[in-house]
Amino acid sequence: MHRMKTALITILLCAGLGASWLATSQTDGSLEAKSAASPTASPANDSTTGYNRLIVKFKEETAAKTDQTAGGQVDPQTRINTFNARGGMQVLGQKAVTLSYLKSVSEQAHVVQTDQPLSRAEMKALTQQLAQDARVEYAEIDEKVFAHFAPNDPGYVASQWAWKSSGSNAGATNTDSAWNKSTGGQPVSGAGVVVAVLDTGYVTHADLTANLLLTGYDFVSADTLPYSPFSTANDGNGRDSDAADPGNWNTNTGNGCSVSDSGWHGTRVAGIVSAVGNNSTGMIGIAYGAKVLPVRVLGVCGGYVSDIAAGMRWAAGILSISGVFNPNVAKILNLSLGSSGTCLSTFQDAVNDVRAAGSIVVASTGNDGSITTISQPANCQGVIAVTAHMLTGDSPSFANDGPGTTISAPGVSIYGTLNSGTTTPVASPGGDTYVAANGTSFAAPMVSGVAALLLQIKPTMGINELTSRLVDSVRAFPSGTYCFNKTSCGAGMLDADAATALVLADTAPTTTATANKTDPVARSTLVTLTGTATAGANGTGISTVGWTQVSGPTVTLSGANTSTATFTTPATSDTVGMTFRFQATSISSGSSSSMVSINMVSAPNPVTSSGGGGGGGSLDWADITALLFMALTGLALRRLPATQKQGR
């Protein structure tokens, strides 16, 4: 048994070294189609030093009891200072850390700064320590997330194939057919709809500026040590009303990012949504009659979760800046950004608030090549998570898909507006240019653009109905492609013509699907699935409803032919993801379906003792846990921060 332990140590340590090599040498942005044997990409790596911001949300009842200022408002600094008693908080028994208030995310949630940079492990320990306080709802690191981007392939022709008929290209969206429909005597173009693009901001462009609402906002806040005050913002100041993109070029490898030119990511995304149409210039946006609200949340080397969450709330009209709310509330929020990991509570809170206000969140799934997981905030509950497909309808190897993916849209050789500046922008029209680029970043705005077309037809449409119409109108992935019959790639491929037809007819039901537990769910746990179905305005009543399981280890559904079904997660299984579909059919045979995915905790096979007299010879769970910790610690120490900074 001693030899068994020694062998296991060797294997685990070698596995750590091998995984480190894969993480640092993987090629991002490959355009090969996936195969059934496509490997799961290594998760983006984390920087090991330089963390000093965290988000703390207090429980509401705590806030009500906290000392208040003379103005009657809860003083967040007072709350934070309570953690500094007895010389600060002890982190891993090694450092005494003092906390100070930095800014607010919401009434109860605040960004807190440590008095010294900490490693990721130390910051994680600090958040766990804070979360154990009875007054705290949650605490988490205020991390940066990054623009979803895969490198452009210069061999691709700069054309708008994705906007055209699926009769010519299997992966196209049929948007040109949708434009030929009319509503209220006007062409379907997205007119009257506001789409917020939360990204790097905008640059002026003759083919875009007429559709830009320059009442946007810059949420990129000042940095804290060890970074210079405006290293992320790159515009010499913090938050302000100017959402212009100053450029996000990087020459400082000390921030953990590679040297790069400015990418004008937000301008590219905005052009896909709403480049001006019918002007004999350049390109046309999916919703060429809609308006884009630029909300700057990303700068050099990404942006902070706290800034993105604030930008989401402001765009949806539920957060005021200096007492002023957004005058152009967006019903669609496009987030072509993300990072690895499960959905942070700060993101989920923002999504919940935005949805409650009546706005929908569309997010890209990421470009790490994973076939099992998608990035956050796409993996948050209630988000329309968009993966990418190619001209043929196949899935490119860079596109993340997995449980929680809602829909797929074209994401290869997607034409967009650009600026020729390599650092700062070149003034329009001299700097105006275009580019065909690849990435889930450019698939998400195609879905946002089609959503704008639907809201023009029916401005009163709620977010559940809007989601249903997008999902129920998809085309199936072509036979023989990686995503054929795979729910991990979403419901299917975006189809603008079919979606607009569904909304114009308004006869099919609307459905939603939720689970009382989603991520992570313990083994042998009872889970309740709840579906809702509402008849279309021009339709008939609901005839049948029911639940079916579409992926994961098979379980028994109780109440499968009702709106509420239950099942118990299996005690053991190699598979941790499960997906269920709720479907409703109207009396007139119209149907609608929604899916919900859950992730279970891993269930390793039990280890039996070796038997034999004398004892002490079995490899027990304490041994395995210690060995795994050694291997994973070695892996974490070898990870390079640059891989987390790769584009999305």
Cα 529 to chain centroid, rounded: 23
582 alpha carbon, distance to own chain's centre = 23
Token pair for 438: 């690849």
CA angle 304, 466, 451 (to 5 degrees): 65
Give the separation between CA 120 and CA 189, rounded to whole angstroms.
47
Three-state SS for 465-534 is HHHHHHHHCCECCCCCCCCCCCHHHCCCECCHHHHHHHHHHCCCCEEEEEECCCCCECCCCEEEEEEEEE
Sign of the C-alpha dihedral, residues 397, 398, 404, 410?
negative
497 assigned to active site: no
User: Active site residue: 46, 142, 199, 394, which one?
Assistant: 199
**Is 265 labeled as catalytic in the residue annotation?**
yes
Assess whether 199 carries a catalytic annotation. Answer: yes
State how far the alpha carbon of 181 is from the alpha carbons of 79, 193, 197, 456, 469, in Å. Answer: 56, 17, 26, 12, 16
Secondary structure letter of residue 440 according to DSSP: G
CB contact at 8 A, 362 and 169:
no
Distance between CA 282 and CA 276 in Å, rounded? 9
Contact present, 276 and 208 (Cβ < 8 Å): yes
Please tell me which residue in 262, 265, 519, 594 is annotated as part of the active site.
265
State the Cα angle at 26 between 334 and 643, rounded to 5°: 55
Among candidate residues 413, 441, 448, 563, the one labeled active-site is: 441
Asked if 137 and 59 touch (Cβ cutoff 8 Å), the reply is yes
Beta strands 95-97 and 89-91, pairing class: antiparallel
The Cα–Cα gap between 237 and 214 comes to: 18
CA dihedral 337, 340, 342, 343 (to 10 degrees): -20
Cβ(31)–Cβ(396) below 8 Å: yes
What 552-561 contacts at long range (C-beta under 8 Å, 24+ apart), as own/partner pairs, is 552/577, 552/578, 552/579, 553/578, 557/529
156 vs 153: CA distance, rounded Å: 6
Residues pairing with 433 in the sheet? 418
Is 376 within 8 Å of 341 (Cβ atoms)? Answer: yes
Q: Quick one: CA torsion of 549, 520, 396, 437, rounded to 10 degrees?
A: 130
What is d(CA 374, CA 118) in angstroms, rounded to the nearest whole number? 28
In the chain, DSSP finds a helix count (H) and a strand count (E) of: 12, 26
Cα distances from 253 to residues 225, 301, 308, in angstroms, run: 16, 10, 24
Smallest Cα–Cα separation from 291: which of 325, 322, 323, 326?
A: 326
- Provide the token pair at 525: 């746990």
Residue at 132: amino acid letter: Q
Which residues belong to the active site?
199, 265, 441
